[in-house]
Structure 1
Amino acid sequence: MSEHPHSALVRRGYEAFGRGDMETLRSLLTADCVHHVPGGSRISGHYKGQDNILDLYRELGELTGGTLRVELRGAYPDGRGHVMAVHTYHADRGDRGIEMPGGLWFTIVGGKISDIDECVQDIDEADAFWGVAG
């Protein structure tokens, strides 16, 4: 059985993120894509547009000293333009570490990602790891 094209798109995004390949990530996003990060930490909020989203991803790398890694567990399409991706992320920041399951809900339009809604297992723990909004 072949992989659904929307799942393959999401998988390519996870692979590019893992390599720090911002140009590939840019090519997978619509110009007006929005990434929604839950909680009340310094990284929480709505990042609209490719540049803002890629700046967020760079900041995640900087805040964790390059230790952030995300292990994709599965990518599940609904056949109507959405993919639910489940992953575990690991990172260190200062004297803190985190390992947390979570997921991303992707909306796909015209073969590109137009919206990313992020969910985490424990919002309070994620907020404590990333630090207070500033």
Structure 2
Amino acid sequence: MAEHPDAALVRKGYEAFTTGDMETLRSLMTADCTHHSPGSSRMSGHFKGADNVLEHFGQLMELTNGTFRVEERGIYPDGRGHVMSVHKWHADRGDRGIEMDGGLFFTIVGGKVADVDECVADIEESDAFWDQAAAG
């Protein structure tokens, strides 16, 4: 059975993110794509526009000295323009590491990602990780 096109799109996005292929990632998003990150940390908020979303992803890498990584665990389309994905993310920052389950809820319009809502297993722990002072 062939993979649903929306699931294939999200899978391609995970692969591009994992390999740092920002041009491919950009090509998968609408120009006005929005990414919503939970919590109240420096990495929380609403990032509108492909450039701002990619800048947000760059910050994940910058703040973790390139250690931020995601392991995709499942991709589930609804056949009506939405895809839910689940993953585990890992990162090191300063003298602290984190490993947490999370997920993304995608809205697909015209074969491209238009909106992404991010969820994490523990918002308070995620906030604490991103807001800690980085060790020199």
Per the normalisation by structure 1, the TM-score is 0.97
1:127 paired residue number = 127
User: C-alpha separation between the residues in 2 aligned to 1:53 and 1:68?
Assistant: 16
Give unmatched runs, 5+ long, in structure 1.
Answer: none
User: C-alpha separation between the residues in 2 aligned to 1:70 and 1:16?
Assistant: 11
**CA deviation after TM superposition for structure 1 residue 107, in Å:** 0.2
**CA deviation after TM superposition for structure 1 residue 125, in Å:** 0.3
User: C-alpha separation between the residues in 2 aligned to 1:112 and 1:103?
Assistant: 18
User: C-alpha separation between the residues in 2 aligned to 1:79 and 1:47?
Assistant: 26
User: C-alpha separation between the residues in 2 aligned to 1:22 and 1:86?
Assistant: 21
Q: For 1:42, what is the secondary structure of its paired residue?
A: coil
User: C-alpha separation between the residues in 1 aligned to 2:84 and 2:112?
Assistant: 15
User: C-alpha separation between the residues in 2 aligned to 1:115 and 1:31?
Assistant: 11
2:14 paired residue number = 14
Q: For 1:92, what is the secondary structure of its paired residue?
A: strand
2:82 paired residue number = 82
The sequence identity of aligned pairs, in percent, is 72
2:58 is the counterpart of 1:63: no
Q: For 2:59, what is the secondary structure of its paired residue?
A: helix
**What is the identity, as a one-letter code, of the residue corresponding to 2:117?**
D
1:94 paired residue number = 94
2:29 paired residue number = 29
Number of aligned residues:
132
**What is the identity, as a one-letter code, of the residue corresponding to 1:54?**
L
